[in-house]
Amino acid sequence: MKNEIHAEIEFTVEFYDVDSMRIVWHGNYIKYFEKARCALLAKIGYGYSEMEESGWAFPITGLSVKYIDSFYYGDTVRAKAILTEYENCIKIKYELYNAKTDKLCTKGESTQMAVNPASGESYMVCPPAFIDKVQALLEKGR
């Protein structure tokens, strides 16, 4: 995507995220994706509070992860979330880098679908409130 919307955050791997070998437990990489996703949605102006206020929920309907290298206790992670689809669903690509070495350690993607929480009905398009915010940000050139 030429004019992409993305967000990056950095954080330190905490002791509670690692196993007995001080390697990040595999399930915590999904938590790291979530941290980056929250930063991206905040940048768009449509975080989980705004979703709820506008009458929508966006559960995860698909998730993939590719482990390339490990993070260890004390490493600094640079997490990048890139919006790749926003009209039919929210699709986000993730890249997790070791901030010290700039090595890509993990990548993945998530898909979220719009759901009306009151009725439980799923929608095959994103609501205009979200699409309008994304398009306004794209027009500003980020």
Read off the CATH number of the domain in which 90 is found.
3.10.129.10
Instruction: Compute the average pLDDT of residues 64-76.
Output: 98
Band of pLDDT at residue 2, cut at 50, 70 and 90? low
Neighbours of 122 (CB within 10 A): 13
* pLDDT number for residue 9: 98
Q: Is residue 56 part of a domain?
A: yes
Q: Is residue 138 part of a domain?
A: no
Q: Is residue 15 part of a domain?
A: yes
DSSP conformational letter for 72? B
Q: Is residue 25 part of a domain?
A: yes
Q: Is residue 139 part of a domain?
A: no
Percent of the chain at pLDDT exceeding 70 = 98
Helix (H) or strand (E) holding 132: helix 128-139
Instruction: Compute the average pLDDT of residues 105-120.
Output: 96
Taking 70 as the threshold, does the pLDDT of residue 1 lie above it? Answer: no
Question: pLDDT per residue over 11-54, tens digit each?
Answer: 999 999 999 999 999 999 999 999 999 999 999 999 999 999 99
Domain that holds residue 26: 6-130
Number of domains in the chain: 1
Q: Is residue 18 part of a domain?
A: yes
What 37-41 contacts at long range (C-beta under 8 Å, 24+ apart), as own/partner pairs, is 37/81, 37/92, 37/94, 37/110, 39/7, 39/8, 39/9, 39/79, 39/81, 40/5, 40/6, 40/7, 40/81, 40/82, 40/83, 40/92
Q: Is residue 117 part of a domain?
A: yes
Q: Is residue 81 part of a domain?
A: yes
